[in-house]
Amino acid sequence: MTEREQRILAHVDHTLLKPEARWEEVQVLCDDAIRYGTASVCISPCYVKQARAYVGEQMRICTVVGFPSGAMTTKAKLFEAEEALQNGAEEIDMVIHIGALKAGKLSEVEEELRALRRVCMGKILKVIIETCLLTEQEKIAACRIVTAAGADYIKTSTGFSTGGATREDIKLFRDHVGKDVKIKAAGGISSLGDAEAFLALGADRLGTSRIVKLVREQDIEANRCYYDKRL
């Protein structure tokens, strides 16, 4: 693994959120995250407790709340977050009420975020706004709400809607979030070049599973070439 790859992987939330994912796949995800030094593993809530017992203190556990639609009640999201934290999650990626934002109910969206912030105090709260469903003005409004609510990150996408992270959205976030709010790009990041571009634009985290797979495949190929030369 090269220094370039290590630098990128340190910003990756190694992610597996497919509804059909089995525990055995989550184990592999955790093993790869530890081996390649990612920032965290991002997994479904049902596997958090098991994953915490499996990795111990070797890897940070991230999970999702209100995922993927965001159209749950605040009370339901708070319960999800509280349970996840009790089970060992250290980071929460929460989907906003997208319909409320689009309806102009900005104070309602902000109050929900403030409630989640209180529950997650001392842990990392990332707010997914699903940029592909929003207008530019709605994205700017979301940046302001996320900042006002005191969240740690604003995140582009769930990866389960009509689009993922774009360079334009990272630039917009950078211009409109507060100085203490970091940026997570997620959805469609499929190459080291993509990852570097998003980091250069201002993203601090990358939600993806492909980067680890790519580095692992390159390691396998490099080892194969090494042993072929020795034969």
For the annotated catalytic residues, the residue numbers are 93, 155, 184
CB atoms within 10 A of CB 231: 4
| Nearest C-alpha neighbor of 160 from the set 68, 65, 71 | 68
Between CA 31 and CA 33, with CA 32 as vertex, the angle to 5 degrees is: 95
| Nearest C-alpha neighbor of 149 from the set 172, 174, 126 | 126
Asked whether 51 and 43 are in contact (CB, 8 A), the reply is yes
Query: How far is residue 118's CA from residue 93's CA, in Å, rounded to a whole number?
Result: 14
Beta bridge pairs of residue 41:
14, 61
Q: How many CA atoms lie within 13 A of 35 on its CB side?
A: 12
Asked whether 167 and 131 are in contact (CB, 8 A), the reply is no
